[in-house]
Amino acid sequence: MTNNEAKGENFDPVADLHQRQRQVRQDMGGAAKVAKMRADGVPTIRDHIDGILDEGSFREIGTFSRSMRLEDRSNTPGDGKVGGEGMINGKPVAIAGDDITVKKGSSAIVGSRRIGRLYDRALERGMPYVYVGETGGGRIPDLIGAEGIADVAPTLSVSRRRRQIPMATAIVGQSFGGSSFQSAFSDFVVQVRGSVLAVTSPRVFEIATGEVIGFEELGGVDVHSRITGQIDLGVETFDEAYEAIQRWLSYLPQNAWSVSPRLDSRADMTPDHSLAGLIPSKRTRGYDMRRFCSTLFDAGSFMELQPGYARNLTTGLGRLDGFSVGVIANNPMFNAGVLDPDACRKAIRLMCLCDAFNLPVIFLMDVPGFMVGKAVEHNRILSLAIRFVEALSNMSTPTLTVTLRKGFGLAFPAMNGSGLGSSGLYSWPGAEIGFMDPEVGVNVAYSSRFTDLGVDEAEAEKNRLVEEISNVTTPYEAAGTMRIDEVIDPADTRIVLVENLRQLDGRRIPPPEQRPLSYWPTV
């Protein structure tokens, strides 16, 4: 006798299917839990997914998954995870996340298989993958044994994904373990204020080490946006997190073997004299590079990434003439725009993203050099500076450079100066390029010559030497030996960059396996 015969002649398997789906999707880990969350204004994972995706586009995969443990099969719908496929701005994506109504969204065997299956489907179909993180960590006792821990370990496909598809994570609650690992693999991470991102919870810290620490101090938005750099954006609301993911994906192709999108907007190709006015001619005066980027690129298109981390370097995505581009720019408003270890990490992260998905990168240079001192030496400035240069040298995507005011020392080549493969090297006429700032160079190299002179004579000799060195740091010296391509009128900056991008649009695009930075570990 079949199951249907046992249930009677009037049994309708299709109606039964829909009833089962409704129960899982509406009640989740308990109708009372869902009702309380919504009464408290706390979205469920299904609410988050609906907020990120185009309305009505979600199609679930793995609806009837449940715990491996016999005693938990009836009360673990989804085994703590929810996911499927849908659309963002009309383009297909895979999406998954933690369901805190089921054992606090903890990671166990079947739930982990579900997430792994969704990622594999995304990779096969060439779709971006989005994760919504809010998990209590690994589930005990499910993971105590060898089989359990093996099932929730990072999968081989994710660990060697080589950035073939864009991967984004939103941290929306307390995230320990699995969803935190997802974020560390991701190309873009947005965290909502009040949430926590960490490997393990403060309770585990206290038991293991005796250390007592609060949630915010451990892994709140301010910690990761300002200190660790482990998130790309901190936001105040869930809606802002949804919008951030939608916007970030709008700059990228669906996958590494597709062409990045170009919008219909076209740049104004008349000289823009306002650009020069945004940058003081005196090299020691600060200004905000973010304002310059917002003016240079298509209106409203500049999306800054990691805005609170290593603020001396501004990075982000933008559009120029409708083309999606990456932006790496020194910001003299903070620490004079010098390069330090965190700035190197920040730049490499963006270069890896752009190289993997074939976005040209525009460097806007105004850099006095690398930071010096004991603190940065102990923070591995040497290895990170060379890693920065090494990453730049291995980029397969086109790069364009404009030296706006100065480029001194190793920071000049590191910011995509001459010799490291830039597709276009340009400089404003008033810029200075050399080993170091002339005044600093005179003080370092010639201070002993001033000791036998009077005050007035020493000052006059110093000024003469500064002027002598300044004469050889003009961009015309570099242009004269073809170390840069052209000295340009600042008002023509947008025009020159757009013309380059239009020309590069017809280039041969290397296949994903020939883009070296797609293989680099997540920074």
pLDDT for 72? 86
8 A C-beta contact, residue 230 and residue 195:
no
pLDDT for 438? 60
8 A C-beta contact, residue 132 and residue 58:
no
Distance CA 208, CA 229 (A): 26
pLDDT in tens, 180-206: 999 999 999 999 999 999 988 888 877
pLDDT in tens, 152-175: 667 777 887 889 999 999 999 999
**Contacts of residue 234, Cβ cutoff 8 Å, sequence gap at least 6:** 190, 191, 192, 193, 221, 222, 224, 225, 308
Average of per-residue pLDDT across 73-102: 95
pLDDT in tens, 370-382: 988 999 999 999 9
pLDDT for 294? 97
Report whether pLDDT(278) > 60. Answer: yes
pLDDT band at 321 (very low <50, low <70, confident <90, very high): very high
Report whether pLDDT(1) > 50. Answer: no
pLDDT band at 454 (very low <50, low <70, confident <90, very high): low
Of 194 and 434, which is predicted with more confidence? Answer: 194
**Contacts of residue 121, Cβ cutoff 8 Å, sequence gap at least 6:** 61, 85, 94, 127
Report whether pLDDT(100) > 50. Answer: yes
The identity of residue 77, as a single letter, is: P
Report whether pLDDT(5) > 60. Answer: no
Report whether pLDDT(126) > 50. Answer: yes
pLDDT band at 419 (very low <50, low <70, confident <90, very high): confident
What proportion of the chain, given as a percentage, has pLDDT over 70?
Answer: 89
Instruction: For residue 509, give the nearest of 360, 322, 390 by alpha carbon.
Output: 360
Query: What is the CB neighbour count within 10 angstroms for residue 5?
Result: 9
Mean pLDDT value across the chain: 90
Of 73 and 191, which is predicted with more confidence? Answer: 191
Q: Which of 29-33, 336-340, 408-412, 457-461 has the lowest mean pLDDT?
A: 457-461
Average of per-residue pLDDT across 202-225: 87
Report whether pLDDT(465) > 90. Answer: no
pLDDT for 54? 98
pLDDT for 392? 94
Average of per-residue pLDDT across 252-272: 93
8 A C-beta contact, residue 156 and residue 180:
no
User: Which of 68-77, 241-250, 504-513 ranks highest by mean pLDDT?
Assistant: 241-250
Instruction: For residue 366, give the nearest of 338, 405, 326 by alpha carbon.
Output: 405
pLDDT for 3? 63
